[in-house]
Every structure is written in C-alpha cells, then in structure tokens.
Amino acid sequence: MSAPTFDLGKLHGGLRLPGHKSASTAEPIRDVPIPSQLVLPITQHVGDPAQPVVGIGERVLKGQLLAEPDRTLGAPVHASSSGKIIAIEPWPVARRLGDTAPCIIIECDGEDRAIEHLETTQNFMAAQPADLLSQILKGGIVGLGGAVFPTAQKLMQAQTCEIEYLILNGVECEPYISCDDMLMRERAAQILSGAQILMHAMQIDVCYVVVESDKPEAVRSLETALSELDDDRLVLKQVPTIYPSGGEDQLVQLVTNREVPSGGLPTDVGCLVQNVGTTAAIHDWIVNLEPLISRVTTVAGDGIANPMNVRARIGTTVQDVVEFTGGYAERADHLIIGGPMTGKSVTTDRVPLVKATNSILVVLKTSFQGRELPCIRCGDCASVCPIQLLPQQLFWHSCADNEVKLREFGLTDCIECGCCDLVCPSHIPLTANFKIAKGRIQELADEKARAERARRRFEARNERLQREKQDRDTELARQKESAKQAGPAAIAEILKRKKRQSEDD
C-alpha cells in the first residue's frame, strides 16, 4: 500500500468536517427495484433543455432515446426502463424550493426490455479518438460529481487545449456522501477502464486517480485493480481529507500545485478532471452500450432508518428510494438532495432522482442554526475560504448591492462551498447572500447585453433608412436628368397627354 502523499500543492483554508460516512458504507451497494413509474426531467444537465423525441402513449424500451439536445450545450435523456409514456408535464424537481420542471413520465411494464444496439465497442483502443468522442456525446453522460456538465462538451472544450493530466476525482469531501467511495470499492476496474477510454480519446498520457486518505477500502480496491491492469500511465494519489478539496479547481491545485486562473477552467493549466462515477458511466456506455440510466446514490442522515448506498434507475422518485431502504426514522424532519454543504432543500419526496443526485439526506429538526447577528469582523470566514476571498467584505458589498466592488473582490470566483457559513460566529447566511448577489450581477450583465444589442439594431436601422433615402434621391435625380435630356418637346408631349387624360376623366 502506497503511503499517503502529502507533499502536494497546498489548499488554502478549508475545514475538517465530521464524515458521518460509516453508517452508509457498512453494506454493499443495493439495487433499487424498478418502480411502477419513472419521472425523467428533460433538463438534467447544465445547458439548454433537451427536446423530447417521443410522444405521449408511445411504448419505449430501456435505453431508448427520449429527448435530445437541440443546441450546442446539452445531453440526451434515455428511458431508464421499458414501458409506456403517460405524460410529459411539469413535476416537482430538486432545483429550487418548490420548483417544477417539464418531465417525461413513464409507466413501467416491469419487463425491463432493452433496446437492441448494433454492436459494442469492446476494443476501444482500436477506435478512432474522434469516434469515441462522438459516441460519448450520445450516451447522455454528464459529470456525476454534482455539477452535471455534459461530459462530451467538456471533452470537446478540452481538445482545444494542451492537456497533460487526466485527474480522476475520487475525493468525496462532503459529509454523509459516500456513493463514489462505494463505487470505487466495488467497481474499480470499470472506473479505470473508463479512464483508459478517456485517455485514448483525448490522447492524454498521465492519469492521476485521486482519493482521500480516509477511504482505505477504496484505495485497496483501486490498487488491486491497478495491479491487474498493469498500466503505468495511471497513478494513484492520496490527499488529506479537507473540505472542499473535491472541488475541481481545488483538486487541480492539490495534485499539480497549479492554480486555475480566476474565471478560467482546469484545462487552462493542462488538467482535465473527471469524477470516478463519470468514468464508470463512460465505460458502461462505450463497452456495454448502456447509456446513463442509473446511478449510485447515498441515502443517509439521522432521519433515515437504514442508511446505505443504492443503485437506482434515473427517474425513480426519492419516495420510492427511501421506502426501499427501509423508510424514514421517527423524527425525520427535513429532506436535502445533495450534501449538507451544497445540497438543496426540498419540501416533497415526490422529486425524482436525477443524474445529479449523489445523495438523499434526511436530517432531524435543525437545532444548531442560531439567530443571525451583526458581523463582528472576526475574519474567520476569510481564513477558511478555499479561494482566499474575503467573505466579510463581500457580505458588506452585497448588502450595499455594489456590483463594481463585488466584482473587484472576486465574487464570481466563489464556489459556494459553505465553509464561511459554518464558521461564522454570528450565523450569517453568507453563501445564500452570495448566491443572490451573483444572480444580480448576472442580471445586470444581461441587461447591459440587451441594451447593447438594441443599440446596434437601432444604429443598423438608421443606416438602412439613410441608405434607402440616398438611393431614392439618386433615382429621382437620374429621372429628372433623363427628362431634361429628352428636351422641351418631349416634356410638352407628356404634359399634353396628361391634360387629355384629365379631360377624359
């Protein structure tokens, strides 16, 4: 077993949080049975909604394409099981509180018949890199770490840069969540195979598989898989357990000691980061032609009777998943989709499990949240901020709605990790404030862009009107000129004709 490699780049701030992971990692991943009804939102990714290509009443098979992106940024949605489409309608989703989004609803027939594919790409090393990329595009694969950015588009963007390292993100730093941990324990070979596919498709020669040092079982399993694979391009690295080292930019900093520039991407410093769940999904799609129709998710929290990790079909409702695990505990109070730091509160468990759902967390009545008090400028928030921002200043300027200052203090670089919230002795909801302020900045930028477009259209119109007037003037002048050249006799002739006409009338 390799010793933890702590001689890595340094992460500023961050927090050592209690893990709460042992409860959900005690048992292996269990499969949730196919529910009677699947709810598939058409937007499960960053970008524009996918457009449905099936109609109500149509029978679909497992893995059949249901909706495909019509713009540049997006990912297709596939049927998670066979059945009949009974509706395409708004349904509650875990995006914002009380939000609904258009969903395709399938009534499952329980047969789970899969659509027949032509051929599988067993030997991906023989495939052309470009073919692999376009194949990944069709699999509906998105970043499963939680950001759900369409993987194919991420790879295409990365192709325009010089990429040195592929970094597999097995750092699951948020408390409670353990789905990647369990995946690494049970499916290490598939994860690494997915990484090899990516390395071949992107022509990358070095891959770091990064795991936190508090996951010894995952490390062991990966080591076994690595030794079986016998590919020295893949290197296992361990990093200390500090939240939020699993953030993309933070991980790059930790592993390569390169800082991702403000407003930039890891590709700017030659790194491509992929979640371990994503590479396993890539393996499933490329080798077995199974699109992203299921995922592992952690069901945990004090409000859950039997915390565990489950593999559920995308579109299974949270209610069905929780029921399968054994239901809620007695004093369950509050449902959060995602982790405790970055997750979203929802009011109903009718929301479906989507590609982004890495955790279903049920907590008891929150007792730790104190009353909000004025800022005492202690600076604790600044010392834990992983981006080295000054949350107290940002808070000040966001209260004053001062866009210029907010930009100056780097609000747009905030990753909303929630560290500052947690340490604030005055219980100020800083991250919530920053989210609102970010929305305002975006709004202002949109307004500005709209004004600029209107100005351009106005100027173009004025130009056109002027051009038309000029054309008319020249035409008139030309006609006058030609009449003059025809001489006085012709003019008299025309006038006589005119007169005759008016007399006739």
- Which residues form the interface with another protein (CB under 8 A)? 447, 450-455, 457-458, 460-461
**Beta carbon nearer to another protein, 448 or 484:** 448
| Residue 13: strand, helix, or coil | coil
Question: Are 346 and 101 contacting, i.e. CB atoms less than 8 angstroms apart?
Answer: no
**Beta carbon nearer to another protein, 257 or 462:** 462
**Beta carbon nearer to another protein, 455 or 469:** 455
CA gap 269, 264 in Å, rounded: 9
CA torsion, points 463, 466, 472, 476, in degrees to nearest 10? -140
Question: Are 28 and 182 contacting, i.e. CB atoms less than 8 angstroms apart?
Answer: yes
Question: Are 293 and 79 contacting, i.e. CB atoms less than 8 angstroms apart?
Answer: yes
**Beta carbon nearer to another protein, 435 or 455:** 455
What is the smallest separation between the CB atom of 402 and another protein, expressed in angstroms? 11
**Beta carbon nearer to another protein, 347 or 466:** 466
The upper half-sphere exposure of residue 366, i.e. CA atoms within 13 Å in the direction of its Cβ, equals 10
What is the smallest separation between the CB atom of 452 and another protein, expressed in angstroms? 7
What is the smallest separation between the CB atom of 400 and another protein, expressed in angstroms? 12
What is the smallest separation between the CB atom of 465 and another protein, expressed in angstroms? 10
The upper half-sphere exposure of residue 500, i.e. CA atoms within 13 Å in the direction of its Cβ, equals 6
Phi, psi of 195 (to 5 degrees): -65, -40
What is the smallest separation between the CB atom of 366 and another protein, expressed in angstroms? 34
What is the smallest separation between the CB atom of 75 and another protein, expressed in angstroms? 25
What is the smallest separation between the CB atom of 5 and another protein, expressed in angstroms? 52
CA gap 67, 42 in Å, rounded: 7
What is the smallest separation between the CB atom of 323 and another protein, expressed in angstroms? 42
What is the smallest separation between the CB atom of 405 and another protein, expressed in angstroms? 13
What is the smallest separation between the CB atom of 401 and another protein, expressed in angstroms? 10
Which strand (E) or helix (H) includes residue 157? helix 151-159
Residue type, 299: V
Question: Are 21 and 308 contacting, i.e. CB atoms less than 8 angstroms apart?
Answer: no
**Beta carbon nearer to another protein, 449 or 495:** 449
**Beta carbon nearer to another protein, 365 or 450:** 450
Residues sharing a CB contact under 8 Å with residue 361, sequence separation 6 or more, in sequence order: 176, 298, 300, 301, 335, 336, 337, 338, 339, 340, 343
**Beta carbon nearer to another protein, 450 or 500:** 450
Q: What is the DSSP letter of 270?
A: T
Find, among 128, 209, 227, the residue nearest to 169 by Cα: 209
**Can the peptide bond before residue 41 be classed as cis, meaning omega within 30 degrees of 0?**
no
What is the smallest separation between the CB atom of 454 and another protein, expressed in angstroms? 4
**Beta carbon nearer to another protein, 6 or 458:** 458
**CB-based contacts of 448-456 (< 8 A; 24+ apart in sequence):** none
**Beta carbon nearer to another protein, 26 or 444:** 444
CA gap 302, 21 in Å, rounded: 12
Query: What does DSSP say about strands 59-60 and 83-92: parallel, antiparallel, or unpaired?
Result: antiparallel
Question: Are 387 and 416 contacting, i.e. CB atoms less than 8 angstroms apart?
Answer: no
**Beta carbon nearer to another protein, 378 or 444:** 444
**Beta carbon nearer to another protein, 217 or 452:** 452
Find, among 228, 192, 233, 196, the residue nearest to 211 by Cα: 192
**Beta carbon nearer to another protein, 99 or 447:** 447
What is the smallest separation between the CB atom of 461 and another protein, expressed in angstroms? 5
CA torsion, points 395, 401, 406, 412, in degrees to nearest 10? 90
CA gap 23, 39 in Å, rounded: 29
CA gap 164, 157 in Å, rounded: 14
What is the smallest separation between the CB atom of 453 and another protein, expressed in angstroms? 7
